[in-house]
Amino acid sequence: LNADLDIPNVYSVVSDAFTSMYNATLQMIQSGVHDILYFYNARSYSGKHKLSGFRAAMEEKALLDSEALIQFYQGPPEDIHAMVGHLEAVHDRGTAFHGVIAADDTLGLAAVKYARKMGYRIPEDFSILGYNNTMLTSCCEPELTSIDNKLETLCRHLISTLLGVLEGNGMPKKTVFSGEIVRRGTTR
């Protein structure tokens, strides 16, 4: 699930994180936000593809003028206050950003708290997009725009593939699903 291994008898069902993140980044740019910070906390298969999608869109538009706009958070995944502190430290070091694209919804919630603390109006002054479309998207005001990576669909398809393999049916080695932006109040 959400990994791609080219090994005999291994089947993959993945979300196209690269394209989802690439398209989301382009949409934020088209909305007028050009100084976008990418905030992530995983270097997994999916994490690498999300980062690559963000980087590709920013480089295509010649907007990735500083690697400081790509921030890896290493702290505990539930410590939203530490995530806010990380964003504050980036700001304090002189990196300006008026948008955050987060690799998951928890990091997105931290960006909402950061924007509020800085006195930004969301989404007028500051745009935020999360990833995974979890129930956390409704835990802030305004509610968090997020990419739905179709986890439930991926899981159902993986089980169907596994059952097909066990029954001796020919099944595709790799199936890819596209994510979808679920617009809420944190983006223009």
Domain assignment present for 3: no
Task: Provide mean pLDDT across the span 125-141.
Answer: 96
Return the beta strands (E) in the chain as ranges: 12-15, 36-40, 70-72, 99-102, 127-131, 145-148, 174-177, 180-182
Alpha carbon separation from 182 to 95, 136, 144 (Å, rounded): 28, 13, 9
User: What is the domain count for the chain?
Assistant: 1
User: pLDDT tens for residues 68-101?
Assistant: 999 999 999 999 999 999 999 999 999 999 999 9
pTM value is 0.93
Residue 5 reports pLDDT greater than 90 = no
- 133 band by pLDDT with thresholds 50, 70 and 90: very high
Domain assignment present for 122: yes
Least confident of 5-19, 56-70, 107-121: 5-19
- 3 band by pLDDT with thresholds 50, 70 and 90: confident
- Which domain CATH number covers 44? 3.40.50.2300
